[in-house]
Structure 1
Amino acid sequence: MTKIQDSVLKKQDEDWKKDQRDHKRVPAITNGIVNPAKPSVGNVKRALETAILTPPDSEEVRKQYGQTQGLWSQSSGKLEYALYKTFLSILFVIYACVRYIQYEYNRVKIRILNLAYSPSNTPQLIRQDVMKLQKLPKRLAAILEKKREGDVGGGTSGLLNDGSELVAWSISAGIKHLTLYDYDGHLKRNVDEFRSSVFHKLCKYYDPTNVPKFAVRIPQWNKVYFNSANADTSEAKKVAIEISLLSNRDGRETIIDLTKTMAELCAHDEMKLSDITMKLIDSELTQLVGHEPDLLLYFGPSLDLQGFPPWHIRLTEFYWERDNDQVTYSVFIRGLKKYASCKMNVGK
């Protein structure tokens, strides 16, 4: 480990001790709507009532009406205002209807895909799906999000189950490196529970006496865990997959810490300014965070990177299903199919 990496890891460790949890992700403002991607008849009704029935109580509007002279001018102004509001309301209703039809179509399509692509806890079925592909990503990444406790598959246990499913699918598909990212770092803080969840999930896919070996790597702590929490480390060195757990702390904040560290080393004449090159930065970030994934999957209604390390997605392919909010095998295999069919032109 170089001096730069050692200094950055020390800073990260100090920040982690000061705050035992990463900065909590603030959800987007949705005006109280549970699922903003899903159109609601009630929301359309409320918007229409606001647009048509609510009188113009804006002070600026009242001022303009007060300056208008004559009964005819005042009546025509109100009529024009009502026409504009009616026209905008009609446009809104048309958009809401089109969006609702589109949402229902996407949801039905996702249900059909889930029925068509069902691994049934069987690695052989996953291998059959993968064997048809021309190429596979060597490094796969996925952005996971913790759902509310009351939702299906919500809470920390739901997040651990989603991560375990992805590990089982990746091993069955022959992918050797998997990166799991969740903004608040719940997987990191529950690494022992996550290892046990992965082990039990692999027992369902494979014979319990022949469970594939795996390693869980946490770059921020510079630690590697092998197999389940009670496994013998000496017997688990050769693994079928390496799982990296990342959070928002491994993104921009790591780049900032690296920049500060190199600036301090230059200020103390421990490093020359000419030594700082793009190759050095790329090498240090690779050691601190990991390699760039070939494919990034997001299991949400619209693509939201949520602070995923920006340095590591320069040539990464993205895939998500619109209006989807579940970690499903259909999204996983369709993402692999898209990657297999894409053509990448890298400039010199």
Structure 2
Amino acid sequence: MPPFSANDTTLYRKDVASGGRTLTPAEREKLLQPYLPAPPSDSPRMDARSSTTTPRQKSNGHKRRVRPFLKAKLHFLIFFLIQLVFGIYIRLRQIYHATLDRLLAIRHYHHRTPEYIQRDVKNLDRIPEHLSVVLKFKSEEEGGLEALMDEVAELSAWSASAGIPLLSVYEKSGILKTYMASLQALVNQKLAAYFGPAPAAPSLRVFAPNLPSTSPSPSPSPRIPAQTRNGSPIPQRQHLDLLLLSATDGRDTLVDLTRTLAEMAQSHKITPKDITSNLINTEIRATTAITGPRHGTAPAVRKEVEAGEPDLVIVFGPYVKLDGYPPWQIRLSEIFCVGDSGGDVSGSASTRVEYQAFLRGLWKYAGAEMRFGR
């Protein structure tokens, strides 16, 4: 590009100084025309180069469109294969557990006879003193409250037959606490169906944290000796305690206890040094304690029945989900999950409460190795 001439520079500056009134647009274009770069040439070489590069660019763009498509299809194929393999595995697992449970149900059926249940557990090294179960409230299609109460009654009869003195039932909503009297009547009927009418049937007490307990089952006269169906005398009537737990006995209890201790500390009723782990443990355990006569044949003395930590927790569900169970009660507990034998593996359906699952939990507990340290 040639350098600007002095004449053109002078004309351009005059036009700028006058605000564009000295030269017309055509004169300005003519003035700048010699200094503009030359337009691109349309030579045959450039045409040939453009003709050779255009198909390559088109092919590169085509490849860029095909590769993401193949990559997406490959990912879909891998996902489908993984889903297929795990689906087959889950179905085979369900079939295996269902078949095993049916065989156990045929081999170890209680026939509503305590002697058969005692025969199934007599060779176990240990039996839990406190058994806890985690149940789920069923929908109306599955029986609702009636089915839940019937499951609790069956578990109570099995526990009494196996020699377990304390059974705690956890249901998240706490609906069982509002029907404690009806539940006690149903459990007494179930115990009578297994053991026979009183005094052969065990005495029962139903209680819940922070609620008054129901009266125990009526005890026979001490002058009339209790007898079984065969007529043999019973030295002492068996007793069963039934504890009802819900989600409000977990986190809400901790929150209420924390609030109460904080208010007492602010009002100088206690000092912060008095709030120790022993005090908190005592207050928490008091929520699952009840005072009253324990055994029907014993004298009517006031005795505290402390639930404490359960030795065994049986989760009737497809997977281990405590669902808000009070955390301080399962520090040293053995947890047994029934599995997906009676329900959907996704957890949409609840697992059935069956005797063979209850028995497998006792077997696992008897064979568990417990190491508490020094």
TM-score, scaled to structure 2 = 0.70
* Alpha-carbon spacing, 1:111–1:247, altered in 2? closer, same or farther (3 Å): same
* Alpha-carbon spacing, 1:91–1:318, altered in 2? closer, same or farther (3 Å): same
Q: Does 1:142 align with 2:159?
A: no
Match of 1:225 among 214, 218, 233: 214
Cα drift, residue 69 of structure 1 = 6.7
* Alpha-carbon spacing, 1:273–1:69, altered in 2? closer, same or farther (3 Å): farther
Contact persistence 1:122–1:205 (CA under 8 A): yes
Match of 2:120 among 119, 126, 129: 129
- Cα deviation, 1:162-217, whole Å, max 9, x if unaligned, reads 00011111111111111111111121111111011101101110121322111111
Give the SS at the match of 2:214: strand
Q: Give the % identical residues.
A: 33
Cα drift, residue 247 of structure 1 = 0.5
**Code of the aligned partner of 2:207:** R
Match of 1:199 among 172, 176, 188: 188
Cα drift, residue 246 of structure 1 = 0.7
Unaligned runs of 5+ in 1: 1-67
Match of 1:169 among 158, 165, 189: 158
Contact persistence 1:199–1:227 (CA under 8 A): no
Counterpart position of 2:327: 310
Cα drift, residue 234 of structure 1 = 11
* Alpha-carbon spacing, 1:115–1:239, altered in 2? closer, same or farther (3 Å): closer
**d(CA) in 2 for partners of 1:347 and 1:269?**
39
Counterpart position of 2:245: 246
- 1:271-282 equivalences under 5 Å are 271-282=270-281
**d(CA) in 2 for partners of 1:135 and 1:321?**
20
Cα drift, residue 232 of structure 1 = 8.2
Cα drift, residue 311 of structure 1 = 0.7
Counterpart position of 2:71: 80
- Cα deviation, 1:204-249, whole Å, max 9, x if unaligned, reads 101213221111111122x111246xx58999xx860111111101
Instruction: Kindly report the root-mean-square deviation, in angstroms, between the aligned alpha carbons of the 2 structures.
Output: 2.1
Counterpart position of 2:45: none
**d(CA) in 2 for partners of 1:234 and 1:280?**
42
Contact persistence 1:215–1:239 (CA under 8 A): no
Cα drift, residue 124 of structure 1 = 0.5
Counterpart position of 2:372: 346
Contact persistence 2:203–2:219 (CA under 8 A): no
**d(CA) in 1 for partners of 2:269 and 2:100?**
59
Counterpart position of 1:329: 355
Give the SS at the match of 1:225: coil
**d(CA) in 2 for partners of 1:322 and 1:78?**
41
Counterpart position of 1:37: none
Counterpart position of 2:262: 263
**d(CA) in 1 for partners of 2:138 and 2:155?**
17
Counterpart position of 2:30: none
**Code of the aligned partner of 2:74:** L
Give the SS at the match of 1:70: helix
- Which structure would you say has the larger Rg? 2
**Code of the aligned partner of 1:177:** L
**d(CA) in 2 for partners of 1:92 and 1:108?**
24
- Cα deviation, 1:33-61, whole Å, max 9, x if unaligned, reads xxxxxxxxxxxxxxxxxxxxxxxxxxxxx
**d(CA) in 2 for partners of 1:135 and 1:100?**
35
Q: Does 1:299 align with 2:298?
A: no
**Code of the aligned partner of 1:130:** V
